[in-house]
Chains A and B, each alone.
Chain A
């Protein structure tokens, strides 16, 4: 019998929020992979998207702004055998938590990172985010941000991400496949998800994305193992917006550095006193 991922909680997102389809894609992917909620950890930060761990049945680690990645790293190292998903918005992921994003790419923990990128700070009512367009006007960017947008996929490829992808809330089946592939990927799977925000972003709407997104894998020159090709693709934005897996490579997941984790989760061990006593010898 398939697991249920429903919780008792009232979903607080605005009607029409892009988080709804993304939630459905996550649940569809989990259902398809038959992952038990008790074997799933969703680590989140602060924002609307990070409320996901209360709307999907799981072990939820609902932490602080932009710090979902270091929190999930600690959890994952304690027990690498569970399924770990970290979820954040573009504020937590690309402003507060950029450092953790970069170093997670380098470390390559076996974690799926979903960033709900709606190009605005929703929960705090409409300030610009690192991915806002330069002409995005808000109370704290009165003439637009006047800065180029942050390029998360470019950063991911520059820092040796082993699974770098972009999805869209306007293309559910495609997004579901990306999430499935990300969970199955042995290493850090990063998926930037284009998401309309019906309350605060009246430019990048469902319609706007539908007119522009196209599937990378349908391109004749599709080559997700070519890093330079992938990097070029990350700079493509405007009339056409690529979605799909940009880049994929193989590197040992971070927990392989700790042979002890191959035996059992960390909480199963107790260091024998004798072994600790032995440590004293070198100080004699």
Chain B
């Protein structure tokens, strides 16, 4: 029978293997042809505390999470106490019965399902660490899923003591069948036919893959949550794909290395989070002035300063637009979801090369570190052709190559140092067309105008925000940007289905702000006057302010979330319903 949706939450201490559990469950369902999204809610620590993962399973691609809990798996008492009332009357609460007990002072909702995961793991010569496998098997059994794909997942994810782990999974299944037969669902789940293979990757992994498809060959970076796994991806694949990855001594070093590599004609990038991006802004300004293409991924977490290092936010839009002193053109992109990240990062390199200017790609912890099921057909490797830097044509009456030749569109022909007999200058100082120092007033103006003129061409290439569900007469317009796309889209669909015609305007390309295109979009959706609600994960309403600043649009209000957790479908639905009442 077809399942529409399953929501599983696993909680416990850091170091207890929550991630292993989530990976096993996710891989099991992905292997069977279903779509999974799981998001991690973790504390900034290595051991202890209370972490959880929220896993959502569907037979259709999913790009948003919920707060709903069909199955709660608690591996620690503290985790149990914190989450046991978060479900509803139907929730099944599985917990390690050896060390966890429902506590009188803590009310819970749902049906407790005590299972001695650890004891079951240790039977027949097994070890305690297999408890997560037992828990996964128990969950799947209750959910009507056979263990075949779990066994495959064990081999892939755990890789060692495979037979013992598979045996412990079987014991977990048997325990449930013996003691909780009545709780096993009637909806048996079988493998689905799929058009193409399904893979499970994090947003960062897809993004890094997109960068490599774009022929990025050089990355330099400094580890910072939640961007680190982009750097690690390059390191892992370095030898196989002939890439160069450098762990820099600091973010300012990293950004300067990227500038140096790009100067030599190599597509180069770095990845960091807000605090690291701050350190990079001086070199960003250098890239803007010296017209050297660079791509920077800024994966946002709540600030200011150290903030909540392992959580999520969308509070760096203005930093991306304005970071780096002086005035120079740059492009700011914000992928809507993991698949969009694959294509958008390729576009980022094209923008950077074509316009010889910095490009910033905004992500956040939710998009970067959640795992998504992506089917092979979603990733079209040949879709985006790489654009090259404007070529330099040597001719007979040529004067010396002028790196900063003033042209109609402001883009100068590019030459790689060492490829010809010409010399190539790059400088952060104001300069002549050749690239030597100048302080002449009129030359300064000519160069600044040249750089800014590039923005006109960039605007032709920037795409308008997407409109979802243009109803004939929407009663509500929701506006968002970046990683909230899946959630906003699902809420808009639900609202429309429940009788309130609603449209979504969603941005993934934010700067240079395409005023004319955006005005056209709003003209299109505002068939009749309707409230405009801007929804974003920050405390000051950055897109809201940008809309006012760029096109004079005054929204009807905002829904802002800045507790470090991403919008879920349920959270947002509740907020909108409350607004309706008011």
Name the contact of B257 in the complex, choosing from A53, A73, A277 (C-beta under 8 A): A73
Name the contact of B218 in the complex, choosing from A59, A77, A103, A277 (C-beta under 8 A): A77
Interface of chain A residues 65 through 94 with chain B (CB within 8 A): 67, 70-79, 81-82
What is the predominant secondary structure among interface residues of chain B facing chain A? Answer: mixed
Knowing A265-B264, A266-B217, A270-B215, the reply to whether A71 touches B425 (Cβ < 8 A) is: no
| B interface, size bucket | 35 or more
Query: A84's closest neighbor in chain B, by CB?
Result: B260
Bound-complex Cα distance A43 to B242 (A): 26
Give the A-B contact count at a CB cut-off of 8 A: 186
Knowing A63-B428, A275-B240, the reply to whether A58 touches B215 (Cβ < 8 A) is: no
Once the chains bind, are A271 and B258 in contact (CB under 8 Å)? no
B321 → A minimal CB distance (Å):
21
Name the contact of B249 in the complex, choosing from A39, A71, A100 (C-beta under 8 A): A100
Name the contact of B424 in the complex, choosing from A59, A260, A270 (C-beta under 8 A): A59
A198 part of interface (Cβ distance < 8 Å): no
| Chain A residues within 8 Å of B205, by CB | 283
Once the chains bind, are A74 and B421 in contact (CB under 8 Å)? no
B190 → A minimal CB distance (Å):
19
Bound-complex Cα distance A271 to B244 (A): 12
Chain A proximity mask over B245-274: 1 for CB below 8 Å, otherwise 0: 010111011101111111111101000000
Knowing A78-B218, A266-B244, the reply to whether A54 touches B283 (Cβ < 8 A) is: no
Query: A254's closest neighbor in chain B, by CB?
Result: B246
Once the chains bind, are A38 and B215 in contact (CB under 8 Å)? no
| Chain A residues within 8 Å of B237, by CB | 279
Bound-complex Cα distance A12 to B258 (A): 30
A116 part of interface (Cβ distance < 8 Å): no
Name the contact of B199 in the complex, choosing from A70, A81, A284 (C-beta under 8 A): A284
B197 part of interface (Cβ distance < 8 Å): yes
A64 part of interface (Cβ distance < 8 Å): yes
| Chain A residues within 8 Å of B436, by CB | 7-9, 54
Bound-complex Cα distance A100 to B212 (A): 28
Once the chains bind, are B244 and A261 in contact (CB under 8 Å)? yes
Once the chains bind, are A74 and B249 in contact (CB under 8 Å)? no
Name the contact of A36 in the complex, choosing from B239, B252, B283, B421 (C-beta under 8 A): B421
A1 part of interface (Cβ distance < 8 Å): no
Once the chains bind, are B249 and A82 in contact (CB under 8 Å)? no
Once the chains bind, are B426 and A271 in contact (CB under 8 Å)? no
Interface of chain B residues 490 through 510 with chain A (CB within 8 A): none
User: What residues make up the interface of B, taking CB atoms closer than 8 Å to A?
Assistant: 30-31, 156, 197-201, 205, 209, 212-213, 215, 217-218, 220, 237-244, 246, 248-250, 252-254, 256-266, 268, 282-283, 286, 290, 376, 379, 381-382, 416-418, 420-429, 435-437
Could you give 29 example pairs across A and B, Cβ below 8 Å? Answer: A38-B420, A53-B425, A59-B425, A60-B426, A61-B260, A61-B263, A64-B282, A64-B286, A64-B428, A74-B220, A74-B258, A74-B261, A77-B257, A78-B218, A82-B418, A260-B239, A263-B242, A266-B217, A266-B244, A267-B217, A271-B213, A275-B240, A276-B212, A277-B381, A279-B237, A283-B200, A283-B205, A284-B30, A284-B156
